[in-house]
Amino acid sequence: MRKVAALWLLAGVVGLASNVAEARVDVGIGIGIPGPAVVVPPPVYYEPAPVIVEPRPVAVTPGYGYYYDDWQARAWREQQWRERRWRERQWRERHREWHRWYDYYEN
């Protein structure tokens, strides 16, 4: 009796476990029957109305237009340019001196 109960218990456990570890391949065959066709008319496109936009008028006043002579800005740019040139010259001189000193002790 114990053997029969053990077999039934083992069969039940195996039956329940087989659903979890089931790996199978399904093959299906289908026959395609077309359904009713619905014809939609093509959309009608209308050309949009032309839009004409006039450019805004440009007013140039004598003191603030393209040819405005800003002497302060020009003077500042010139000062900056001169300082930049001076720094470049100083750097070149220091660089040359360093190379002379380095080459003297290197050889």
Q: Which sequence spans correspond to the domains of the chain?
A: 83-107
CA distances from 47 to 6, 28, 41, 43, 54 (A): 84, 51, 19, 13, 21
Q: What is the pLDDT of residue 78?
A: 92
- Taking the complete model, does pTM exceed 0.85, yes or no? no
25 burial via Cβ count (<10 Å: 0-12, 13-18, 19+)? exposed
Q: What is the mean pLDDT of residues 27-41?
A: 78
**Which pLDDT band holds residue 37 (cuts at 50, 70, 90)?**
confident
